[in-house]
Amino acid sequence: MKKKIIIICSILLLYCIGGIAFTFLKKEFKTKKDEGITMKRYNYVLFYKDMKIYKDEFMILKSNLESSNINYLDYAKSISKLFLIDLYSLNEKENVYDIGGTEFIYPSALENYKLNVANTLYKYMKDNSNGKREQELPTVSNVIVATPEETKYEIDKKEYDGYKISLDIEYEKDLGYDKKADLTLIRDKNYLYIVEKN
C-alpha cells in the first residue's frame, strides 16, 4: 500500500514539475517572439515576424542611432523606407486596423493618419485573423531613396527643421499600388517624425 502511495505521489510530483517547466518555457518563447529587438533611447521595435527587407533596414537604423555620431539624413532615409515597407505590405497585415508605419508618425497626427489609412488604402482588405485569407495583396520588395533635401516645416504652431524625401516603391508583384511617395519629416529633439505623405 505504501509503495502505491509513493508511486502515485512521485507521478503527481513529476506532473507538477513538468507543468511548471512547460508554462515557463511557453512564457519565455512567447516573450521572445512577441517582443523582438528594441533600441536604446528610442521606441522602435523589430518583431521576429517582420519581413527580411524590414529587418535589414531596421538594423541599419539601429546601428546609426546607437552610434556616437548620429547621421540624421541617414536616419530620415531609414525611417522613410521602413514606413513605406510597413505601410504598403498589406499582405503582412491581419486586418484593416493593423495599420503600418504608425511608430514613425508625429504623435499629434497619429489618429488622423490611422483613420485615413483605414478608410482608404486598407479599406477593402479582408480579415486574416484565421490565417486563411485568399485576397491578393501587395508586399514591398524594395524602396529606393530618390531625392532627399533639407526643409522647414510648421506643425502645432511651431517651426521645425526637417527633410523632404522622394522615394520609389517596388513590389513582389505589381497590383497597381503607389510606386512613388514624397515624405516630409521633422526633427523634434533627437527624434525624426513623418508629418506629411504625398
| Other beta carbons within 10 Å of 62 | 18
Segment 1-12 shows an average pLDDT of 58
| Confidence at residue 35, expressed as pLDDT on a 0 to 100 scale | 65
Segment 24-36 shows an average pLDDT of 49
Rounded to whole angstroms, the Cα distance separating 183 from 80 reads 7
Tens digits of residue pLDDT in 119-165 = 999 999 999 999 999 999 999 999 999 989 999 999 999 999 999 99
The pTM (predicted TM-score) of the whole model is 0.82
Rounded to whole angstroms, the Cα distance separating 132 from 148 reads 40
Report whether 160 contacts 187 (CB < 8 A).
yes
Report whether 96 contacts 125 (CB < 8 A).
yes
Tens digits of residue pLDDT in 59-78 = 999 999 999 999 999 999 99
Q: Degrees (nearest 5) of the Cα angle 185, 180, 116?
A: 65
Instruction: Delineate the domains of the chain, giving CATH numbers in brackets.
Output: 33-197 (3.10.450.50)
Least confident range of 23-37, 95-109, 116-130: 23-37
Segment 40-59 shows an average pLDDT of 94
